[in-house]
Amino acid sequence: MTNQPVDRDERTVSVENAGYRWAYIFLTYGLLLSVAYRGFVRAEQAWDLLALVVLSGGVATLYQGEHRVLSRSWAVMTVAAVVAALLLAATLVLLRRAL
């Protein structure tokens, strides 16, 4: 038997799944309300759907963080993804201005 700490157990999986459930509910009803409002009331396209997708990911992350199931590797990968996205966005803006 080893004395290594357990990184993932049943509690971690349960909290992650509950976070995904809340995120799905938030996304589904938010999308429904947004599309209905934009389509029927304002006769606009629903460009804010992307923002709801990002916010639903934030809901899951906040829920999992509240229950302390996020690991150090998750934080490192998140920072790396954000930095990569910012570099890509900056590159695209510079290329577009050059054309």
Report the pLDDT averaged over residues 26-34.
83
Read off the pLDDT band of 77 (50, 70, 90). Answer: very high
Quick one: 75 and 62 in the same domain?
A: no
Quick one: 60 and 90 in the same domain?
A: no
The number of beta carbons lying within 10 Å of the beta carbon of residue 12 is 17
Residue 47: per-residue pLDDT: 64
Quote the mean pLDDT of the chain: 85
Quick one: 31 and 48 in the same domain?
A: yes
Distance in angstroms (rounded) separating the CA atoms of residues 73 and 70:
8
pLDDT tops 90 at residue 33: no
Quick one: 1 and 25 in the same domain?
A: yes
Contacts 24+ apart (CB under 8 A), 64-69: 64/15, 64/16, 64/19, 67/15, 67/19, 69/11, 69/12, 69/15, 69/16
Quick one: 81 and 92 in the same domain?
A: yes
Residue 24: per-residue pLDDT: 85
pTM (whole model) above 0.85: no
Read off the pLDDT band of 80 (50, 70, 90). Answer: very high
Q: How many domains does the chain have?
A: 2
Quick one: 14 and 53 in the same domain?
A: yes
Of 2 and 66, more confident: 66
